[in-house]
Structure 1
Amino acid sequence: MTKSSSNSSDPEVGHHEALHAIRSAPSISMSPELFEKLYLAPPNAVKGDLRKTFGNPTPLLVPLVDDCSTSTADEDHRALAGFLLALMPLSCDLMGWRGASHFGAASIPVYFFEGGVLMVISGIMEWILGNSFPSTVFTSVGFFYLSFGGILHPSFAAYSSYAPADAKSPAEGMATKGFNASLGFLLAMTILSIIYLICALRTNVVFVVIFATLVPALLCLLGAFWAWADDYTGNTLLAQRLCVGAGALLFVTSFAGWYLLLAILLAIVDFPIQIPVGDLSSVIKGKSEKEMRLGK
């Protein structure tokens, strides 16, 4: 039997030959829709070879348009995984499922490492690769998780500092007006999420859904804390309802995130079935693209 016929009957050899051919290709075209799905941002031209240096190659190389070097969307799905592994338990805690409470204090390590560290590292890698929008989103949300976990962790004395002098437990500080009113930093995160929502209109429908549900969820949490600040005992029922509403909205956010993560991973492994994310980069044209069409 000849060597060529032997190789043709070996599927593993054929797989490696096909993979070698893909890796050796000098340029592979990619539609803006696929680019946006993998990178969560419209196509952008990035100078330098950092994508080639730091991009983590996989069997499916994902070259950038405009003759940029090859890279992958690894950081996108890692950050999304961290975001979802921390967010979904929080949403269940806020809704009080199976008796969960205390804003998911049992998940503090998850907020630190899954939601915080993983997202920040992924955001830094996105910055190195030149993906500015995902980098900004991942790092800011990652540090938000770290801050939220720090508020719940006793060693940071975030709530014990407000506890009365005669308090029997440091946790009594959580019921004070000063502590709950000070959590208005959620308002700043809400404003930032609104900005992200506007920018997401250039990415895809799923990303828009994530921020469109995240914004009212943060507003519900803000309202709950400020209701407790006004009258902790009298407004407890209202605050709890706002927390349940926030949890329900974040649950929808989580499902949208899981869908987006699945879409990215299916595209990365070149799965025969692909699911749409609703590309918007071709619907809402960029300023530079409009100027190019006008010949400016």
Structure 2
Amino acid sequence: MASTDLEKGSIRASSPVGRRNHHHDEPIGNGPSLAPAVRPTRIGNPGTLGLFSFASTTLILSLFNLQTRSITHPNAVVGMAIFCGGLAQLLAGMWEFPRGNVFGGTAFTSYGAFWMSYATILIPGSGIGAAYAVADEFHSALGIYLITWGLVTFFFLVGALGKNWGFISLLTCLTVTFFLLAGSEFTGNATTGKAGGGVGVVTALIAYYVGLAELLAAEDQPVIRLPIGIITRKSKQL
């Protein structure tokens, strides 16, 4: 997940040297040689890669949480969590940073790390689950793990408030998903876990939509453009 620029052929990343001082509105440094510089980048928008990878892994796990077709063990998501939700999102995050997108780079990298760490918990050979002799202790530990990611997601939601409604909806649903799943681990209530799975499915579908919007926006002549509700800010006149 990352903030979309929805531009095609005009993606630019500014050099840190060219950034202006926030308080004095003067170029950082001395002399005309340090005037603001805008440098084009050949790195394409990795947003679709990150969003599709996130959406696919989230959809699978959410269907498992819903106990679709009587599935009660989520371990089949491990491969997806490592390579798709994990590695692919990590790479997307690393490509966002040189494009000057701190929000996107941080979000994709963070959720890539989440999926890799979650997969590690589910792998029997990791010994993480076996380290807990009491099942209630393991579920409580997993609840703390999930609620922490719920907080991280809420912080991303705050950062997305000025971007577009697509990401606001996505991160809102994801925050609710994490808290519902954490509540299920704490209480052992299967209904709460299924509710988390249901909201997770909605989260995945929103991520697919936003990812498709970015994919189409990157084309010179897209068949269709999908609106994501970009929030425009009115500039203040002094």
- The match for 2:126 is 156
Mapping of residues 183-222 of structure 1, within 5 Å: 183=142, 184-222=144-182
Question: What is the Cα-based RMSD across aligned positions, in Å?
Answer: 2.4
**Paired amino acid for 1:138:** F
Gap runs ≥5 in structure 1: 1-33, 49-65, 164-172, 229-238
Aligned pair partner of 1:47 in 7, 11, 15: 15
What whole-Å deviation, never above 9, does each CA across 1:171-217 have from its counterpart, x for those lacking one?
A: xx6xx121111121212111111111111112111111111101111
Q: 1:215 to 1:267 in 2, by over 3 A?
A: same
Q: In 1, Cα distance between the equivalents of 2:114 and 2:45? A: 22
Q: In 1, Cα distance between the equivalents of 2:228 and 2:183? A: 32
Q: In 2, Cα distance between the equivalents of 1:38 and 1:88? A: 28
- The match for 1:114 is 84
Tell whether 2:108 aligns with 1:125: no
C-alpha displacement of 1:46:
2.0
Q: In 1, Cα distance between the equivalents of 2:6 and 2:13? A: 17
Q: In 2, Cα distance between the equivalents of 1:224 and 1:242? A: 5
Kindly tell me the number of residue pairs found equivalent between the two proteins: 213
Higher RCO by CA contacts (8 Å cutoff, separation 6 or greater)? 2
**Paired amino acid for 2:79:** P
Q: In 2, Cα distance between the equivalents of 1:38 and 1:90? A: 32
- The match for 2:58 is 87
- The match for 2:49 is 78
Q: In 2, Cα distance between the equivalents of 1:200 and 1:243? A: 27
Q: In 1, Cα distance between the equivalents of 2:183 and 2:92? A: 31
Tell whether 2:224 aligns with 1:273: yes
Aligned pair partner of 2:193 in 234, 243, 246: 243
Gap runs ≥5 in structure 2: 17-36
Q: In 1, Cα distance between the equivalents of 2:163 and 2:42? A: 19
Identity rate of aligned residues, in percent? Answer: 26
* Aligned partners of 1:117 and 1:142 also within 8 Å: yes
* Aligned partners of 1:105 and 1:152 also within 8 Å: yes
* Aligned partners of 1:116 and 1:143 also within 8 Å: yes
* Aligned partners of 1:181 and 1:225 also within 8 Å: yes
C-alpha displacement of 1:124:
1.2
Q: 1:95 to 1:38 in 2, by over 3 A?
A: farther
SS in 2 for 1:36: coil
Tell whether 2:206 aligns with 1:256: yes
Q: In 2, Cα distance between the equivalents of 1:80 and 1:245? A: 22
Q: 1:160 to 1:38 in 2, by over 3 A?
A: farther
C-alpha displacement of 1:162:
1.2
**Paired amino acid for 1:245:** A
Q: 1:68 to 1:86 in 2, by over 3 A?
A: same
**Paired amino acid for 1:202:** G
SS in 1 for 2:229: coil
C-alpha displacement of 1:75:
1.4
Q: In 2, Cα distance between the equivalents of 1:139 and 1:274? A: 27
* Aligned partners of 2:12 and 2:99 also within 8 Å: no
C-alpha displacement of 1:261:
1.2
Q: In 2, Cα distance between the equivalents of 1:157 and 1:35? A: 39
Q: In 1, Cα distance between the equivalents of 2:80 and 2:214? A: 23
**Paired amino acid for 1:139:** T
TM-score if structure 2 supplies the norm length? 0.82
**Paired amino acid for 1:91:** S
Tell whether 2:150 aligns with 1:179: no
Aligned pair partner of 2:5 in 23, 36, 43: 36
Aligned pair partner of 2:185 in 194, 203, 225: 225
SS in 2 for 1:74: coil
C-alpha displacement of 1:38:
5.2
What whole-Å deviation, never above 9, does each CA across 1:35-63 have from its counterpart, x for those lacking one?
A: 63359xxx986207xxxxxxxxxxxxxxx
**Paired amino acid for 2:71:** A
